[in-house]
C-alpha cells in the first residue's frame, strides 16, 4: 500500500473541474477595430484575467502557416497557457455545393494541423447542413469525414468534434445520432450551453443528456446571468474534465463584460470549494 488515502467521491470531480477560460470570439469587436490580435488576447487571458488557459476562435488567426502558428504556440508557452480549444469556422463538413465542400475540407485539414501545432486539447469543427435534419446522403458523408478527422486528431493526441451551433446539429436528437454513429475515441462534442433548438424544457433536457459526451463548453451571457450553477453542475456531475469557457456576444465593452462573466463562474467554483453546494 502507498499509504495514500482515497479521496471522497465528490472531491476529485470538483477539483478537476476548476478550469476557466474565455473564447477569443468574445473580443471580436476589439478585433474588428484593430485593437486586439491573438497575442493581445493571450496577454489578456494571462495578465488581465489571471487564467491558465486560452480558447482561440480561428477568426483571430491570420494564417495557418507553420511559422506563424509556431509564434502563437510560443506565446502560449511563454504565458504558461494551455489551449483548451481551437474553435474553427469555415470548415464545416456539409455544403450543397461540391466546390464549397472541397474548400471546407482543405480548411479543415489545415486547422487540424494548426490544432496540433498549437497543442489544443480539443478542436470544434461544425457538421454543416442548414436544414433541421440531414438527408441520408448528408449524414453518411458527415459521419465518414468525422471518422477520418477524429482518427487524425486521436493519432496526434487531441480530440475534435461538433457543436450544437447551427443547422441540424442544434437539434439534440440529431447530435446524439451523430455522436453514436461516429463512435470514435477521437471524437467529442463542444456544447454551447442552452444553445439548442426547441422549447426551454427541451433545451434544458439536452444540456443534461449531452453532459457525459462534452469535451468543451461555452457559457453565453444568458447562462452566466441565469441558471449558471445548475448548468455547471450538470457537467461536473457527469465527470466533465474540460474547461468552463465564457463567451460574450455584444461586441461592445468587452473587457468589462467578460470580467463579469468570468467572476460569476469563479463564484460557483468558490462555492464548490467551500462545500456550499
What is the pLDDT at residue 249? 87
Contact 84, 242 (CB under 8 A): yes
pTM of the model: 0.89
What is the pLDDT at residue 17? 45
Can you state the angle between helices 200-210 and 228-237, rounded to 10 degrees? Answer: 30
Position 168 confidence tier, pLDDT thresholds 50, 70, 90: very high
Q: Average model confidence (pLDDT) for the chain? A: 92
Contact 182, 219 (CB under 8 A): no
pLDDT in tens, 16-72: 347 999 999 999 999 999 999 999 999 999 999 999 999 999 999 999 999 999 999
Can you tell me whether residue 173 is helix, strand or coil? helix
89: exposed, middle or buried (C-beta count within 10 Å: 0-12, 13-18, 19+)?
middle
Share of the chain above pLDDT 90, in %: 87
pLDDT in tens, 113-147: 999 999 999 999 999 988 889 999 999 999 999 99
pLDDT in tens, 209-230: 999 999 999 999 889 999 999 9
Between 172 and 6, the more confident residue is: 172
Say if residue 5's pLDDT is above 60.
no
What is the pLDDT at residue 8? 33
Say if residue 253's pLDDT is above 90.
yes
What is the pLDDT at residue 276? 58
Contact 143, 181 (CB under 8 A): yes
pLDDT in tens, 152-163: 999 999 999 999
Say if residue 11's pLDDT is above 50.
no
What is the pLDDT at residue 10? 37
Count of C-beta atoms within a 10 Å radius of residue 23: 28
Position 251 confidence tier, pLDDT thresholds 50, 70, 90: confident
Contact 139, 180 (CB under 8 A): no
Amino acid at each position: 500500500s502507498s499509504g495514500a488515502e482515497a479521496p471522497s467521491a465528490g472531491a476529485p470531480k470538483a477539483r478537476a473541474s476548476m478550469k476557466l477560460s474565455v473564447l477569443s470570439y468574445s473580443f471580436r469587436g476589439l478585433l474588428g477595430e484593430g485593437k486586439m490580435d491573438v497575442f493581445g488576447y493571450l496577454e489578456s487571458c494571462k495578465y488581465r484575467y489571471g487564467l491558465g488557459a486560452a480558447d482561440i476562435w480561428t477568426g483571430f488567426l491570420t494564417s495557418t502557416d507553420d511559422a506563424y502558428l509556431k509564434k502563437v504556440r510560443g506565446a502560449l508557452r511563454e504565458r504558461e497557457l494551455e489551449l483548451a480549444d481551437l474553435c474553427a469556422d469555415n470548415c464545416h463538413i456539409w455544403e450543397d455545393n461540391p466546390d464549397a465542400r472541397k474548400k471546407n475540407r482543405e480548411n479543415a485539414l489545415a486547422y487540424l494541423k494548426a490544432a496540433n501545432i498549437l497543442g489544443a486539447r480539443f478542436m470544434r469543427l461544425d457538421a454543416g447542413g442548414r436544414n433541421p435534419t440531414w438527408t441520408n446522403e448528408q449524414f453518411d458523408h458527415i459521419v465518414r469525414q468525422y471518422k477520418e478527422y477524429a482518427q487524425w486528431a486521436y493519432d496526434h493526441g487531441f480530440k475534435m468534434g461538433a457543436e450544437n451551433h447551427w443547422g441540424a446539429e442544434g437539434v439534440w436528437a440529431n447530435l446524439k445520432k451523430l455522436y453514436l454513429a461516429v463512435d470514435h475515441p477521437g471524437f467529442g462534442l463542444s456544447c454551447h450551453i442552452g444553445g439548442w433548438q426547441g422549447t426551454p424544457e427541451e433545451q434544458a433536457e439536452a444540456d443534461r443528456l449531452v453532459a457525459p459526451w462534452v469535451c468543451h463548453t461555452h457559457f453565453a451571457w444568458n447562462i452566466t446571468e441565469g441558471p449558471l450553477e445548475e448548468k455547471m453542475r450538470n457537467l461536473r456531475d457527469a465527470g466533465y474534465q474540460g474547461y468552463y469557457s465564457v463567451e460574450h456576444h455584444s461586441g461592445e465593452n468587452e473587457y468589462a463584460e467578460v470580467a463579469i462573466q468570468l467572476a460569476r463562474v469563479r463564484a460557483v467554483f468558490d462555492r464548490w470549494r467551500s462545500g456550499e453546494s
